[in-house]
Amino acid sequence: MSNGVRTVATPSSGLEVGKLPAAPVAELEGKAHELWTGEYYNEGVAGQGGMFDKLNEECGVFGVYGHPDASQLCYYGLHALQHRGQESAGICTVEDGKFNYYRGMGLAKEVFTNDNLEPLVGSTAIAHVRYSTAGESKLANAQPLVFKYREGDLAIATNGNLDNANIIKRELERKGSIFQTTSDTEVMAHLIARSEHDDIVDAVKDAMNQVIGGFAFLIVTKDKLIAALDPNGLRPFMIGRLGDAYLFASESCAFDAVGATYMRDVQPGEIIVLDRDGFRSERFTEEGRRAICAMEYIYFARPDSDIDTINIHSARKRMGKRLAMEAFVDADVVTGVPDSSISAAIGFAEQTGIPYELGLIKNRYTGRTFIIPSQELREQGVKMKLSAVRKVVEGKRVVMIDDSIVRGTTSLRIVNLLREAGATEVHVRISSPPFMNPCYYGIDTPDRKELIAAMNSIEEIRKAINADSLHFLTREGLLDSIGQGASGAKSGYCTACFDNEYPTEIVDTTKVGCACD
C-alpha cells in the first residue's frame, strides 16, 4: 500500500445529519472524503482520536527525586499514564550532574528496552508521554526536551498548553532566539535562559510569570528537580512518596503502579524544589481562580485515579445517577461506550434499575493496520474499534451512555452499530453538558465551527446521530456529581468547553491543543 490519501464515495444514508463537518473517515452524505493518510490505515488513532472522533488525550508527566532506580520507576509510571498519550515517550535522568536521556515514537513498551533503559542511571529523573495526533509524528517534539543552559544542562517535561506561547515566540525570534521544535516547552526554556536571574529557581519563577495557560512543569537541572503548576490548577499534578524518595505524576494511578503513596496535590501557583537541602514549597504567583479541568473527571483520567482526593470512578458513577434523574427513559438494557463511559453507565443502571449489560465491546488489539480494509470498514471505521453484542441488544430498547459528543460522527456510527445488531430503540445519554467551545489549556479540540453542539440544537444533534432520544447532563448536575475535594470551599472546575467561561484571558485564539505539538 503506497503512502497517501485514500478516498471513497459513499451512498447517502437518508438520515438528516445536520451540519456534521468533515471527518478523517468517509461521511454518510454521498460524498468522497479522506479516509487516511500516511503509511497505514489507522495512523494516529492509537488513542481515542482520529477516526473515532474523541478528544485527543493530554500528555502525562512523571518525576522521581532520590531513588536509585529512578528510570525504572519512570518506565512503570509511564505505563500507568499511557492513556494520556500514545505518540511518544521519553525519560531523562541525572547522575553526578550528567544528563542521560532517551526518547522515541510509540508506546512506552515499544520505545524502551533493557538496552536503552540501562544507561539511564541516576536517582533523579523526569518522564513524559505525548498525546496521539493524526497524520504527523515529530520526534523533535518528544519530551523531555534537553537544553544547554549557562548553569549546566536543563531538561523539561510539560503537560498542558501555553496560550501566549506563539506571541512570546515571535518576540524572542525578533531578539535572535532560534527554535528547534514547535513545542511550548521550548518557549519556556528560552524564557528561563534569558532571565536576568542566575539562580535557576528565580529564573523559573520569572519565566512562569510570563506565560498564560494551563500547565504542569517538571524541570531537572544538575542538582535540582523543580515542579510547578499553573495559577488556576487546570492540569492535574500530584506528589507521592516511596521510602525517602519524592515522586510527581499527572495521576495518582501512576503511584499505585510503582508502590508509592499519594502525598498531596500540587497547589495552583506553587513551585516545589527538591535538592540536597530537601523539599521546599514556594509560590511563583498568587493562586488564581481554582479551575481543575472538568474533562479529567468526565473522560481523561483513569477510573482508579484520584484528583484532589476525588475518585474518578465514583465521580463518573454519580454523573450517571444524576443523568438518570435528569433524563430517565424506559428501556430494557443500559450499555456504556468503552472505556470512559462504563462508570457512568453503571451509575445510570443502578439509579433506574434497568440492567447494565456489555452491549459494546472494545477491540484493544487493532494496532497499526497495514492491510487495506474492506469497503464496509472504509465506510464505518469504528467497527475496527467497537463491536455490538447482538445477543445482548437484539430486540431491546437500549440506553447508550457516552461521555461526550464532539463532531457527532462517531456517535452516529455507534448508534447504527446497535441498530444493525437488532436494537429496536437507541436512547443516547451523555454524562457531560454539550461540548460547545474549544480548549486552550492542553486538550486537542477542533475549532468551534466543527463542534456539533456549537452549531446545532439538541434536537438537530439527535437527528444527526440517528438516536430515538438524546439528553446531556446539565452543568449543575456535573458539578454536583464531581463534588468537593480536599480543597473544600476552594474547589472549582474549568467548564469553559461547556459554558465559554474561561478562567484566564485568551490572548491567542489560534493556539488550541497541547503544548507538545
| Binding site per annotation, positions for [4Fe-4S] cluster | 293, 439, 494, 497
Task: Show the cell assigned to 487.
Answer: 480543597
CB-based burial of residue 345 (10 Å sphere; 0-12 exposed, 13-18 middle, 19+ buried)? buried
Q: Choose among 452, 456, 380: nearest CA to 418.
A: 380
Pairing between β-strand 60-65 and β-strand 124-130 as defined by DSSP bridges = antiparallel
Task: Show the cell assigned to 89.
Answer: 515517550
DSSP annotation of 382 reads G
| Binding site per annotation, positions | 293, 340, 402-403, 439, 494, 497
String of DSSP letters for 130-180:
E---SS---GGG-SSEEEEETTEEEEEEEEEEETTHHHHHHHHHHTT---S
**Cα separation, 490 vs 484, whole angstroms:** 9
**Cα separation, 190 vs 197, whole angstroms:** 13
Consecutive H or E run containing 189: helix 184-194
Q: Is residue 59 among the annotated active site residues?
A: yes
Task: Show the cell assigned to 165.
Answer: 506561547
Pairing between β-strand 278-283 and β-strand 270-275 as defined by DSSP bridges = antiparallel
Other C-beta atoms lying within 10 Å of the C-beta of residue 343: 24
Q: Out of 59, 74, 514, 516, which one is annotated catalytic?
A: 59
Distances (CA, A) of 184 to 105, 162, 167, 362, 438: 19, 6, 11, 34, 18
| Binding site per annotation, positions for Mg(2+) | 340, 402-403
Do residues 212 and 163 touch, judged by C-beta distance below 8 A?
A: yes
Task: Show the cell assigned to 283.
Answer: 509560590
Do residues 472 and 434 touch, judged by C-beta distance below 8 A?
A: yes
Beta bridge partners of 334: 356, 399
Task: Show the cell assigned to 388.
Answer: 455490538
Phi, psi of 176 (to 5 degrees): 110, 0
Residues 6+ apart with CB under 8 A from 347: 316, 317, 318, 319, 320, 321, 322, 323, 324
Q: List the catalytic residues.
A: 59
